[in-house]
Structures are given as structure tokens and as C-alpha cells.
Structure 1
Amino acid sequence: MNLALWIGAGLLAVVALAGGTIKTFAPREKLAASQGGGWTGDVGTGFVKSLGGLELLAAAGLILPAAVGVAPILVPVTAVCWALLMIGAAITHGRRDESSLVALNLCYLALAVFVAWGRFGPESFTG
């Protein structure tokens, strides 16, 4: 179970790192023109960049606290935050009739819930 939780957190961290890097460093206009990025045309640049920064923090928060042994409770807290972010993403893509992206967001949501449940519960770092 511990290995599955590490793999789940690692996969989410890779997704968060990739998404955060793109949102933080790519021009909003380029994002808006890409598949699945049309929503960025409806919001301000600051919002997109802030969201990217939060995703970069999530990538770190899913791995680093447990890996270095400093405040490992941040791993499940970050997973809960990621789950909330995925709910928002699914709603946003749903409103735009992007069902394949909604399905992907729901997969990430399920994985985040699994990591949060596992790290708050049976495989807690404090136990």
C-alpha cells in the first residue's frame, strides 16, 4: 500500500509539475490556442500564472515533505488541495463540453483522494 501511495503521489506530482510549468512560463495566448487550453482565453494572465505557481507548489508538496521528513502531513493536505483543484478543472472543462478532459480530471481527482485517504489513514507518516 505504501508503494502504491508513493506511485500515486509521484504521478500527481509529475502532472502538477508539467501543468504548472506550462501555465507559469508559456504565454497565455499560446495556451489559449492549444487543445484543452481554451479556458485560458476567458481569464486573466495573472490568474493563469497564479494557477501555474500553485501547481508547482503542489508538485513539491506531494513529494518533498515525506522525502525529506519535514512536515510530512503536508502530503495528504496537498492531495486534498489537488482534489479541490481537479473539481474546479472538471467543472471548467465540463462547461466547455470537453468531456475527455473532464474524464482525465476525474481520474486525477480519484488518485488524489486515494493519496489523501492513504496518507491520512492507514499509511500515515505519523503512525
Structure 2
Amino acid sequence: MKSFLVKTLANAAALAVAVWLLKDITLTGDSTDRTVTLIVVALIFGAVNAVVRPVVKLFALPALVLTLGLFTLVINAVMLLLTSWIADQADLAFHVDGFVAALLGALVVSVVSWALSLVLDRD
């Protein structure tokens, strides 16, 4: 349970950094709504990564091998776009505008969540 909470908070913070850095990833609303929206979007992002990502990685295995794993960044971008679409369907104020923004956002989210997981997940 503690690990799930740490990963969710790390994802929420990483998404906040992506929103802050990239103008094509938007989060609207006041500060309280933004915090709740970030946590809900982080939960959606975690669910998408837990359910959809393994299937996509299985089908993309030849591309992953051919690019020595760099295709993972494209898969992460698609997961971020899928998260944005689900957030739009749920009337959440989170939106990723385009594949390039998703690619850059996936890079930011990956690096920030990895760093925060290292810092936060200390026993």
C-alpha cells in the first residue's frame, strides 16, 4: 500500500512538472481543483500503465528490440495521450495537445517520477 501511495504521489508530482514545463500539456482550474485533478489523473495514469502498457509492449517487442528499448519513450507518450483522452471523457481539466507534447511530457514524467521514487521510497 505504501508503495502504491508513493508511486501515485510521484506520478502526480511528475505530471505537475510536465504541466509546468510544457505549454501543450494543460491543467485548468483553481489550486484546490488542480491538486485533486492531478491526483486523479495520476491514478488514471497508473491504471493505464498497469493494464494497457504491458499489452502494448508485448505487441511492440520487435520495435523495442530493434531500437534497443528507445521505443519505450514512444509507448510512454501513447500512454500519456490515452490518459489525456480518459481524463477528457471523465471531464477532468487535463489535456495533452499533440504527439510531440506527449513525447516530451513522457520524457519529463519518466525522469521526474524515477527521481522522486528514488527519494520517496526509502525504507
> Normalising by structure 2, what TM-score?
0.34
Look at both structures and tell me which one has the larger radius of gyration over its CA atoms: 1
> Normalising by structure 1, what TM-score?
0.33
Structure with the greater relative contact order (CA < 8 A, sep ≥ 6): 1 or 2? 2
